Each structure stands twice: as structure tokens, then as C-alpha cells.
């Protein structure tokens, strides 16, 4: 797969894709659903075929939600967050294996030491894997409690010099109000970082969003489960909402 000729020239040379844990299962479900895993892998492989260098940050909400567990008061948040990091590693392992099985070279790099199943995160190693055509799966968030996987995505995008951060969600972009509640909600095709903050639109957590804004990394929010969207966004086609500096 890595040695094949790309389908077309990518608009973005290096991409960081953020996938939530919920993407690995059916709506309202739990764990990893085989069909959804295959769908995710197919979309990532199609994007890699375009010729872009691709890294993925995976969430873990389908396995365990550390913040929700901590709110119950039985476990300190730091411990609950580490449990959540292990959840992302479970998803990362599944994603790496299905990509390899389908012929796309992939590596998983973890922010916490899991030597039996993953390489430890080293920036130069991650970049080298991508340069060799391997999809890099980043697991365990930032490796620190009290930070979300959105923040991990912004951090890794900055570290690897990504041209864009793609945030795969269950809706097809950013709206002026919740489209699940309001039938008259309007979707933005393009919006600036300042407008998002002024309108208090919930795109990512503030730490992640501020990091992308500071380092001028555009964000594209789109519905991943629409077939072909990742590859088309990588080619520069307009899907979802693009958040830009100005």
C-alpha cells in the first residue's frame, strides 16, 4: 500500500485527524463495533492513498470516560484520566491492526509507556514513520491527566508540523446552534477562530482551540461517517466547516 502511486495530489501534505472514541461503536453503544472499525479504516486508507502524510489521535469514550467516572467521587480525577488513556490505547491497537490487515502500514505511538504493545512517543520517530508512508496512531492523549484528547490532537498537530487538524464528529460541521435541537440551525462553511470564540461555539476545548489558533493551524470539522469525506477534505474539497485565522 505504501509503495502504490497516490490517487491524486493532496491539498494538505501532512494531516492530523482526531477521531472520538464514539466513532468506534454504534450511536449510544459501547466498546468496538467491527463494522464501524472497518469503516474508519477504509476512510483512513483512502486518505492515505491520496498521498498525504497522516497521523491519527484517537479518543476513548467508547471504552471509559475518565471525567464522568471522576465526577462520581469514587476515584480521583488523575487516576480516572489515566484509565481513559488506557481506553484510547485499546482503540489505537484496534485501528493499527485493522489498517495493517488491510495493507496500510501503521504504527501506534503512546504517550505513556506500553512497551508490549506500542512504541513510546518521540516526535522525530513519528515524523519519520509518516515520511515512510505509515499512518501514525497516537494513543494515551498527552500522557498527563486533566487534558482532553482534543488537546492531545492540537499538541501533536503542532509537534509534527501538520498543515491542518481534521476533527471528525457526528455532525457535518459547526452550526450557529445545536442542529440536533434546532431545525433552523445554520451551518458555517468557513469561520474565523475569533468568531468562534466571540460566538462561544463549542468546537474543541479552550486549551486545544487556543493552541491551534496560536500556531495558525486551521481546523476542519466534518462528519467522518459520510463515505469519502476524509480523502476529499485532504484533497482540499469543502466539507463541513473550516476554521481559519482570518
- 77-89, pLDDT tens digit by residue? 999 999 999 999 9
- Reported as a single tens digit per residue, the pLDDT across 160-181 is 999 999 998 888 899 998 888 8
CA distance 93 to 24: 12
Q: Write down the mean pLDDT value for the chain.
A: 92
What is the pLDDT at residue 141? 96
pLDDT, average across residues 93-121: 98
- Reported as a single tens digit per residue, the pLDDT across 46-96 is 999 999 999 999 999 999 988 888 888 889 999 999 999 999 999 999 999
What is the pLDDT at residue 1? 41
What is the pLDDT at residue 4? 44
Query: Which long-range contacts does 75-78 make (Cβ < 8 Å, 24+ apart)?
Result: 77/145, 77/146, 78/145, 78/146
Share of the chain above pLDDT 70, in %: 97
- Reported as a single tens digit per residue, the pLDDT across 4-20 is 445 567 899 999 999 99
CA distance 106 to 38: 15
As a whole number of Å, the end-to-end CA separation of the chain is 38
| CA 199 remoteness from chain centre | 24
All structural domains of the chain, each given as residue ranges with its CATH number in brackets, are 14-244 (3.40.1160.10)
DSSP assigned state of 129: H
208: cell is: 486545544
CA distance 112 to 119: 9
CA distances from 1 to 56, 106, 156, 228 (A): 18, 11, 25, 18
Q: What is the CB neighbour count within 10 angstroms for residue 214?
A: 12
Burial label for 11, CB within 10 Å (0-12, 13-18, 19+), is: middle
pLDDT, average across residues 194-213: 91
Q: Identify the CA nearest to 11 among candidates 236, 164, 167.
A: 236
Amino acid at each position: 500500500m505504501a509503495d502504490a502511486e497516490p490517487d491524486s495530489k493532496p491539498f494538505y501534505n501532512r494531516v492530523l485527524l482526531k477521531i472520538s472514541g464514539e466513532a468506534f461503536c454504534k450511536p449510544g453503544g459501547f466498546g468496538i463495533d467491527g463494522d464501524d472499525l472497518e469503516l474508519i479504516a477504509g476512510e483512513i486508507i483512502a486518505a492515505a492513498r491520496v498521498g498525504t502524510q497522516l497521523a491519527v489521535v484517537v479518543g476513548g469514550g467508547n471504552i471509559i470516560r475518565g471525567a464522568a467516572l471522576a465526577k462520581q467521587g469514587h476515584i480521583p480525577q488523575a487516576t480516572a484520566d489515566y484509565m481513559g488513556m488506557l481506553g484510547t490505547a485499546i482503540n489505537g491497537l484496534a485501528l493499527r491492526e485493522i489498517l495493517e490487515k488491510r495493507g496500510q502500514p501503521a504504527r501506534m505511538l503512546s504517550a505513556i509507556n506500553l512497551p508490549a504493545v506500542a512504541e513510546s512517543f518521540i516526535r522525530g520517530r513519528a515524523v519519520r514513520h509518516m515520511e515512510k508512508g505509515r499512518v501514525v496512531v497516537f494513543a494515551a492523549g498527552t500522557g498527563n491527566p486533566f487534558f482532553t484528547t482534543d488537546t492531545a490532537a492540537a499538541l501533536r498537530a503542532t509537534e509534527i508540523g501538520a498543515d491542518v487538524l481534521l476533527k471528525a464528529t457526528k455532525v457535518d460541521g459547526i452550526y450557529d446552534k445545536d442542529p440536533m435541537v434546532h431545525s433552523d440551525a445554520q451551518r458555517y462553511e468557513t469561520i474565523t477562530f475569533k468568531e468562534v470564540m466571540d460566538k462561544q461555539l463549542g468546537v474543541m476545548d479552550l486549551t486545544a482551540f487556543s493552541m491551534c489558533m496560536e500556531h495558525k493551524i486551521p481546523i476542519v470539522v466534518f462528519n467522518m461517517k459520510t463515505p469519502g469525506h476524509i480523502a476529499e477534505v485532504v484533497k482540499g474539497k469543502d466539507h463541513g466547516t473550516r476554521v481559519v485565522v482570518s
